Structure formats: structure tokens, C-alpha cells
Structure 1
Amino acid sequence: MTKIAICDDSEFVRAETEKMLVKFSVQRDFDFKVKQFESGESFLEECNDFDLLFLDYQFENKGENGIEIARKIREYNIDITIIFLSGYERVVFESFEVDAFRFLVKPLEEEKLFATMLDYINKIKEDSTIAVKCYGLKQFIKEDNIIYIEGDGKNCIIHLANKKEPIECSETLAKVETLVSKKKFCRTHKSFLINMNYVDSYSHAEVSLQNNEKVLISRQKYKTFNNRIEEFILKNRRI
């Protein structure tokens, strides 16, 4: 499920945008949850909780403009996709400074919003994003945001970067292992699958990750892990 925020000082614009998204979701079987915000400052308090943001450029007497808000968002969440909404076409070039995905002119046109959402879905696929089931809904997660995955019986827990709360997934660790890249992820234990990008150090017994957590290495998997991580570091040197 994609978590969407609509941040605009106009209640009418927020309502119309959400109405179009609902129509799009019905036509395209797109699972999403939406929350509305009337100012950029109010959104900043929750910016790590969303995947996609529709952001107004000009907030009339309600705080900083959208570009300044976007700059602050990027300090905490570099992965959120930002789509600007504005009646001022001249500010489109400013939106590039904060890595905006699209710029939509008000009043919003359904056809252009739908086209933008289709491009967003294609972007998710291209960005090595996996789709997992969470309580019957699809949750899209970027592989690069996953630090490690922990098995929990018939379910698993996905631990994320950017200080996001872990995601409880209603799929087995073995199933999720088939979805992620074999070039990045390695099983260290029957209960743990790690993203090798986040390995800080390791011993025969455990792996220390960059978020200061540790996961177990089983005796049976140590040799394979040792070979995999050495090969990974040589090809993707990070230090």
C-alpha cells in the first residue's frame, strides 16, 4: 500500500485531489492510504511516514512556500516522491532543485494526474521496489531502504532505514527472499536476511549493522556469507 500525503492550504484542492486518486485506484487496482495537511509545517512532523507527497507551492499566510518545505523534507526523507501543485508555472524550474518527480498545474486535470500516477508506478518498478502483503494490502518498499528482514513464523518483520518503524509483513521470510535482489541480500540465519549495503562488521557469530543492531550468523551459513560479503565489497566498495 502506498502512503500518500496531500499538502495544500486549499480544502477544495485537497478534496479534489483525493477524489481523483480514489477514481484512479479503482480503475488501476492501486492500493493507497491518504492523509491531508493544510500546511507544510504540519506535514514535516510526519514526513517519514509517507511514500508520495502532493505539495502546494504557495501557502497563503500559512508558513513557508513549498520549495522551502521540500528542502527541509529532504533533510529527513530523501526517498519520498514529491509532486508539486501550483498555479504558477514559472516555479517549475525551482522544483528541480529538490528532486521533484512532477509539476502539475492547478486546477488539476484528471488525465494529467492519472498519467503522473502511472509514471509513478513505473518508477517504483524501476527503482527495485518490492510489493509485499501487509494485512491483505500491498505495501511497496524500496530495496535500498531495507536494512534486514526478520522471520517471525508465517510472517516477517522488515526493518527500514531513515528511522522508519519496522513493517510487519504477512508473508514468510522465504517468500520475501524470492522478491529481493540476490546481489544485495544474503541469508545469515534461518531467521535473518540482510542487505549487505548495511553491514558494518561481522564475526563468526553475528553481523553488526550500520543502525547499531546485530543479527545472528549460523554456523552453516557463515562460509557462504563470508564469500558473498567479500565479493560484494569488492564490487560495491563503500569504504
Structure 2
Amino acid sequence: MLNIAICDDEKKELEIIYSLVSKNLTDIDQQFKINYFDEGEDLIEHMDSFKELYDIIFLDIYMKFSNGIDIAKRIREFDKECKIIFITSSKEHAIDSYDVKALHYILKPINEEKLFNAIKTAIDSLKKERKEIVITNKKGTYRVIYNEILHAESKARLVNIYLKSGKIITFYSKLQDFFESLEDERFLKSHKSFIVNMDYITKIENASITIINDKKIPISNSNIQAIKEVYYRYLLK
């Protein structure tokens, strides 16, 4: 179920966006719930009062009593993950939208194809962030979100998964079996004993990969160029 908010101070625009979003999600058989607001402050107040977070927020910039960029900045203070899509009448704030990590910036009058593409991108991004794998060891069973995995390392038939939180989950498996079970292009097997999440690579230099916690992951000497090409293709994608 997608939880969606639409915020625009013009009733006609609200109705148009609501209609197009509803039609697109119904056509792709996606369950959803939509709340709509005619002022940015009302959206913030609702999110604060009801502790409600949204998956996607369609946000106008030019409203009578608030500016959409400012509203988005306040949303980002407590929600870093929601997909913000600006739908507005001017290109003036397109650069500012990067500061709040907006997913798209769509000009009015709305082009249906651009709106539907923005929705598809948002859904694909949400699916990627929420994808998970179940790991079982002697201590219990864990649901591990892919987005939390920095890298994995194999030692003597044990696989250690290193998470962003600093936690390490250890279980019996061949590294290759674990790698194949992930079935996700963001993961790269750089060495017979290492898997790395390419979303967290900061540098590839000589025969090693550096990730965001400054950990260095080795690259097989015979495979350095191929590993670099896989990473560069992933970046471009």
C-alpha cells in the first residue's frame, strides 16, 4: 500500500493531480491511499499530529501562505526517505529542489507521461530500498534490508554481513550461494571472499574498493578492470 500526499493551493490543480495519480496507480494494479492538502502548513501539521509518513509527496512550490521548497526542507528534518515530486508553474526553483533531494520537478500544465514516469521511478526506488532477505543462524532469524548492507565477508564457511548500524550478522553459507540469493544488481563480488554494496562505494583505487565507513575491500588481481567496468556501468545507470 502506497501512502501518498498531494499539496496544492489551487483546487483545480489538486483535482487534476489526484485524478492522474489515481488513474496511473489503478492501471498498474498498485494499492494506494491519498490525502490532499491545500496548504503546506496543513501538510506539516498533519504529519506532526498524526505521526504519519508518506511514501510519495506531490508538492506545489507557489502557495498562498507557504513555499514548497521550505515545506520540503521541514519534511526532510524528520523524513529523509519519502519521494518528493514538485509540480509547479516555474523553473525558478529547479536547482533548489536538489537541496531537498526531490525525485522530480514537473512543470504545469502537467504532461501525463512525465508524471507517470515520475511515479514509476518513485515506486522502483521504494521497492529497492525495502527489498530484504531472511537470514537464519543459531541465535535466530533476521530480516535484513538490502539498503542496510555495506558488505559481506567469508571466513571458513562463515559469512559475515556488515550493516550500516555497525551490527554484524554471521551465518553458515558459501559466499557464492549468498551472493546468488541476493539477486540484486547493486551487489558486486569483488573477490572470492568479499561482496560489496555499490551504493556505498566512495572510491576504487588500484586493487581495493573503499566504502563509506573507510573500510577497504580487496579486488581480485585478475579481475580489476572488469570490476571497475561493472561499477562504472552501475553508476551510469
TM-score (norm 1): 0.56
Count, aligned residues = 159
Residue 125 of structure 2 corresponds to 123
Residue 17 of structure 2 corresponds to 17
Match of 1:52 among 37, 56, 59: 56
Q: Does the CA-based 8 Å contact 1:41-1:69 persist in structure 2?
A: yes
1:232 aligns with 2:163: no
Q: Does the CA-based 8 Å contact 1:186-1:194 persist in structure 2?
A: no
* 1:20 Cα offset (Å): 0.5
Q: Does the CA-based 8 Å contact 1:56-1:86 persist in structure 2?
A: yes
* 1:186 Cα offset (Å): 7.0
Structure 2 CA distance for partners of 1:231 and 1:87, relative to 1, 3 Å: closer
Query: Which residue identity lines up with residue 133 of structure 2 in the other structure?
Result: S
Match of 2:102 among 100, 103, 111: 100
Report the structure number with the largest CA radius of gyration. Answer: 2
Q: Percent identity?
A: 29
Which structure exhibits the higher relative contact order, with contacts defined as CA atoms closer than 8 Å and separated by 6 or more residues? 1
Q: Does the CA-based 8 Å contact 1:24-1:114 persist in structure 2?
A: yes
Query: Which residue identity lines up with residue 17 of structure 1 in the other structure?
Result: I
Report the 3-state secondary structure (helix = DSSP H, G, I; strand = E; otherwise coil) of the residue aligned with 2:94: helix
Q: Does the CA-based 8 Å contact 1:55-1:66 persist in structure 2?
A: yes
Structure 2 CA distance for partners of 1:181 and 1:19, relative to 1, 3 Å: same
Q: Does the CA-based 8 Å contact 1:70-1:98 persist in structure 2?
A: yes
Looking at structure 1, the residues matched to 12 and 100 of structure 2 have their Cα atoms a distance apart, in angstroms, of: 26
Residue 181 of structure 1 corresponds to 133
Structure 2 CA distance for partners of 1:49 and 1:186, relative to 1, 3 Å: farther
TM-score (norm 2): 0.57
* 1:26 Cα offset (Å): 2.4
Q: Does the CA-based 8 Å contact 1:187-1:194 persist in structure 2?
A: no
Residue 7 of structure 1 corresponds to 7
Residue 35 of structure 1 corresponds to 35
Q: Does the CA-based 8 Å contact 1:86-1:104 persist in structure 2?
A: yes
Looking at structure 2, the residues matched to 24 and 45 of structure 1 have their Cα atoms a distance apart, in angstroms, of: 28
Match of 1:78 among 77, 80, 84: 80
Report the 3-state secondary structure (helix = DSSP H, G, I; strand = E; otherwise coil) of the residue aligned with 1:5: strand
Q: Does the CA-based 8 Å contact 2:53-2:79 persist in structure 1?
A: no
Report the 3-state secondary structure (helix = DSSP H, G, I; strand = E; otherwise coil) of the residue aligned with 2:133: coil
Looking at structure 2, the residues matched to 88 and 22 of structure 1 have their Cα atoms a distance apart, in angstroms, of: 25
Structure 2 CA distance for partners of 1:231 and 1:27, relative to 1, 3 Å: closer
Structure 2 CA distance for partners of 1:232 and 1:43, relative to 1, 3 Å: same
* 1:78 Cα offset (Å): 0.7
Offset from partner CA, 1:169-206 (integer Å, 9 cap, x none):
xxxxxxxxxxx2357x87844xx7465999xxxxxxxx
Q: Which moved more, 1:109-118 or 1:41-50?
A: 41-50
Looking at structure 2, the residues matched to 67 and 11 of structure 1 have their Cα atoms a distance apart, in angstroms, of: 20
